[in-house]
Structure formats: structure tokens, C-alpha cells
């Protein structure tokens, strides 16, 4: 371990999910399987949407972007964890840790914003069907994705730059399988008030804002569906939102689980295990949720593989 004059250490230790050596092969196999399913599942969704002209609509445009972000989000943390388990090492370099925090924060914010854009798309489709093609035009869809990327990049850059100002006086052991921002701040020996303030402010603004938009959209959607006279019409309207609503619920409930486990004292191991749901399980399940009940995706996938 190299300790520089400015008390900036050169590497951190990722303690992972378990210290038991006999469990490492099981953890490696389990996470490798989930990672492969996540990558190939989301990649199939993207290829199916690209290859089928019937899916070149705003809803599937956002879904393709969500699948791409999910692949990147999972690839930010899992490959390094698998490498460490394979070579029986817990080390991650200082630069590697900062890079991991940057991309982990970026793709987490993008997930949030894309889900919000998808909720707005469903709101327009159900509440303003006659104006749908005019409102959800390609320019607006592209602008929503572009703004999401700009906000995500700026926020990640700010969070990462603020970590660079911190000092670490001892070997920092991170009770996690990746460089989680909150754990890094807890291990710093310099003042972290500004970092914590910015982290919580960004969480409320960039997490609460899209969530408020999603809740508002679904409030209007439910109100509009209640006004439909036929039961078949209500079912058809609701079925177009079912997959998205399932993904949104899974996304926010897993984040809530991570937040609650982090708030409990001496629960770093529980927080790490809860983060698996957010970082691995949710991106893995998204392709299944969107394909199982979606006839258009099923048809496109059959054409793609058959």
C-alpha cells in the first residue's frame, strides 16, 4: 500500500459479499450467470427493436435505451467483482474506484430518467391518444434522452471531482462488492460535509424529481382509465402500462431496500446484499418483464432468432 504525501492512498479493498473462501466459487458462478443473462437478454431486446420496423415507436425507442443503460450499469460493477473473486484479490485501484463511482452514478441516474420518460410516453398515449404522434415526435424523444445524458454526466462528474478533494489516512476497506459512494465518504479522514450535502441533494433532486413525474403520469392514467366505459377498453389501456409499472416498482422498491438497510447501524453487509437486487437482479429481470406479456416483442424476438 502506497501512502502519498497528500495522504491519498493508491488502492482500496473491496470486501465483497462474503469472507468465506468456500462460498467464493458459488458467488462467482451465480454472478457470472446473472451477468450473462442480463447482457444477452437486454441485447436481444435492443436487436429485436432495431430489426423490426413495427417497433420503431417512442415506447420501444425508450425501451432500447433502457436496455442499453442496464447493460452498462451492470458492466460497471460485476466484471471487476468476478475478476477479484477469480484471482482471489480484493484490491481496486484509486483511479478504478473513482471511475466505477462515476459510471455507476451516471447509469443509475439514466435509468431513473428513462423510466420517467417512458411514464410520460404512456401518459400521452392513454390520455391524449389523438395527439400522440404529434406530441411524441422523434425530436422530443431524442431531446429527452439527450437531456438525461447531459444531467447524468454533469452529476457524475461533480460527484467524482468532489471525491478527489478527500484524504484517506488508512487502508480503506469497503464492505461492498463495488465502490459505493456512501461507503467511500464514511472512510475518508477529511471533512465530508460538502460531499454528503451534494450527494443527498442530488439524490432528492435527480431521484425524487423523476419519481414525482412518474407518480403524476400514473395518477392521470388511472383517472383516464376509470373514465373508459368498457371493461375490454380498460384492460387494453392498463395492459400497455403493466410492464413499465412492474419495472418501475422493482426499481424503486430495491432502491428503498438499499436505503433502509444503509440507515441501520452496523449493517454494511446487509446493504451490500440489498444492493445486489438494485445493481444485478433488476437489470436482469427487465427483459423478461417486457417480453413475457408483449406480443410485439415476442414476434420480433422469434423473427430475430428464427
The whole-model pTM stands at 0.91
Kindly give, in sequence order, each residue whose CB lies less than 8 Å from that of residue 136, ignoring residues fewer than 6 positions away: 58, 121, 124, 125
Specify the pLDDT at position 6. 46
Kindly give, in sequence order, each residue whose CB lies less than 8 Å from that of residue 252, ignoring residues fewer than 6 positions away: 211
Specify the pLDDT at position 10. 78
Distance CA 50, CA 66 (A): 14
Contact by Cβ (8 Å): 91, 224? no
Q: 93 phi and psi, to 5 degrees?
A: -70, 160
Which H, E and C letters describe 90-148, residue by residue? Answer: CEEEHHHHHHHHHHHHHHHHHHHHHHHHHHHHHHHHHHCHHHHHHHCCHHHHHHHHHHH
Distance CA 175, CA 261 (A): 13
Distance from the Cα of residue 135 to its chain's centroid: 27
Q: Where are the beta strands (DSSP E) in the chain?
A: 11-14, 91-93, 173-174
Distance CA 163, CA 126 (A): 44
Q: pLDDT in tens for each of the 306 residues of the chain?
A: 444 434 457 788 888 887 777 888 998 999 999 999 999 999 999 999 999 888 999 999 999 999 999 999 999 999 999 999 998 888 999 999 999 999 999 999 999 999 999 999 999 999 998 999 999 999 999 999 999 999 999 999 999 999 988 888 777 888 888 998 888 888 888 888 999 899 889 989 998 999 999 999 999 999 988 887 777 877 877 887 888 888 898 888 888 777 766 656 555 666 777 788 888 888 999 888 888 778 888 888 888 877
Listed by start position, the domains of the chain span 11-305
Distance CA 84, CA 15 (A): 10
Contact by Cβ (8 Å): 116, 110? no
Distance CA 237, CA 225 (A): 7
Question: Is 11-305 a domain of CATH 1.20.1070.10?
Answer: yes
Element (H, E) at 90: none
Specify the pLDDT at position 68. 96
Distance CA 121, CA 117 (A): 6
Amino acid at each position: 500500500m502506497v501512502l502519498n504525501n497528500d495522504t491519498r492512498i493508491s488502492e482500496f479493498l473491496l470486501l465483497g459479499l462474503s469472507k468465506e473462501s468456500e462460498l467464493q466459487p458459488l458467488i462467482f458462478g451465480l454472478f457470472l450467470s446473472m451477468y450473462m443473462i442480463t447482457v444477452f437478454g437486454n441485447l436481444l431486446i435492443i436487436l429485436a427493436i432495431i430489426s423490426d420496423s413495427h417497433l420503431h415507436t417512442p415506447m420501444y425507442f425508450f425501451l432500447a435505451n433502457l436496455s442499453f443503460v442496464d447493460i452498462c450499469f451492470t458492466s460497471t460493477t460485476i466484471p471487476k467483482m468476478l475478476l477479484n473473486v477469480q484471482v482471489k484479490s480484493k484490491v481496486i485501484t484509486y483511479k478504478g474506484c473513482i471511475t466505477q463511482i462515476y459510471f455507476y452514478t451516471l447509469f443509475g441516474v439514466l435509468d431513473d430518467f428513462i423510466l420517467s420518460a417512458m411514464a410520460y410516453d404512456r401518459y400521452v398515449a392513454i390520455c391524449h391518444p389523438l395527439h400522440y404522434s404529434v406530441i411524441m415526435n422523434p425530436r422530443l424523444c431524442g431531446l429527452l434522452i439527450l437531456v438525461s445524458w447531459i444531467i447524468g454526466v454533469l452529476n457524475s462528474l461533480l460527484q467524482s471531482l468532489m471525491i478527489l478533494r478527500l484524504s484517506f489516512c488508512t487502508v480503506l476497506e469497503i464492505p461492498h462488492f463495488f465502490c459505493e459512494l456512501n461507503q467511500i465518504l464514511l472512510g475518508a479522514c477529511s471533512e465530508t460535509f460538502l460531499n454528503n450535502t451534494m450527494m443527498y441533494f442530488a439524490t432528492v433532486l435527480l431521484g425524487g424529481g423523476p419519481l414525482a413525474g412518474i407518480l403524476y403520469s400514473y395518477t392521470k392514467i388511472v383517472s383516464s382509465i376509470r373514465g373508459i366505459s368498457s371493461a375490454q377498453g380498460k384492460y387494453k389501456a392498463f395492459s400497455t402500462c403493466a410492464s413499465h409499472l412492474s419495472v418501475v416498482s422493482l426499481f424503486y422498491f430495491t432502491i428503498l431496500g438499499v436505503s433502509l438497510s444503509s440507515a441501520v447501524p452496523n449493517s454494511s453487509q446487509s446493504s451490500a446484499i440489498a444492493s445486489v437486487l438494485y445493481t444485478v437482479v433488476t437489470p436482469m429481470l427487465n427483459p423478461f418483464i417486457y417480453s413475457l406479456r408483449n406480443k410485439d416483442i415476442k414476434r420480433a424476438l422469434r423473427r430475430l432468432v428464427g
